[in-house]
Structure 1
Amino acid sequence: MNISIVAEAESIIRNLVGELTAPRPRECLPCYLDRVLCDARCDHTLRLTGLYRDAVAPKATALEERMQSRGGFCDCEVLMNVYESKSDHVYPCLGVRRGSTQPCGLWHRWG
């Protein structure tokens, strides 16, 4: 009985993490990263950027390389070095079309 309780708890946690880290409909990459990184630490990889790409824009196969070429070597660096918010208020996301990796109107790219 203990094993089934542990397995059920692990399943619930996996599902919850999946829901919390899933991009919302029409959410842009910087809004997604800003939202998720408020509750989760950066693990010094582009894991969340890759999750976003896989869920929203699977054809954007060079997304990670593009972020790295602009100084975004991990998810938090994407927000520090690649995108800049236009104001202190970046919620809710203004939305982008499905398949886009462009920022919404709340953000612009550095340089």
Structure 2
Amino acid sequence: MTSFGPTKFAVGESLHTVKINLVPSKDVQHIKGSFTSEAQDDIISFSESSKSIEDDTITVQFKKSRQGDSKITITANIIACGETTCAMIEKTFEVLVADGSNTGAVNFSYAVELPRQ
């Protein structure tokens, strides 16, 4: 599991975005897959809880409906393809969301490598 945060987001109606940029290693030619996102309580509501990975980016949009800390758990099924093989990588990301004034997008990066043979 890879953890990010604490990241501070404002409470209220605004839509917040967390982006995880999947950075391919030199042997990865292309990345696809899907992911789901969930929070452990009702502080956070998602615009969509499951999506495809697009442009090597996992994008989660949510609203923070009341005060308090929460964790967003993103479970990604990443398909990384090299020249001759593809590998399925299941990865869990955890983002700690705290109260604050940040709105807009927060970006993180994660390196995607093909498993060693």
In terms of fraction of residues, the more helix-rich structure is: 1
In terms of fraction of residues, the more strand-rich structure is: 2
Interval of TM-score (by shorter of Structure 1 and Structure 2): under 0.3
Higher relative contact order (CA 8 A, sep 6+): 2
Q: TM-score, normalised by structure 1?
A: 0.25
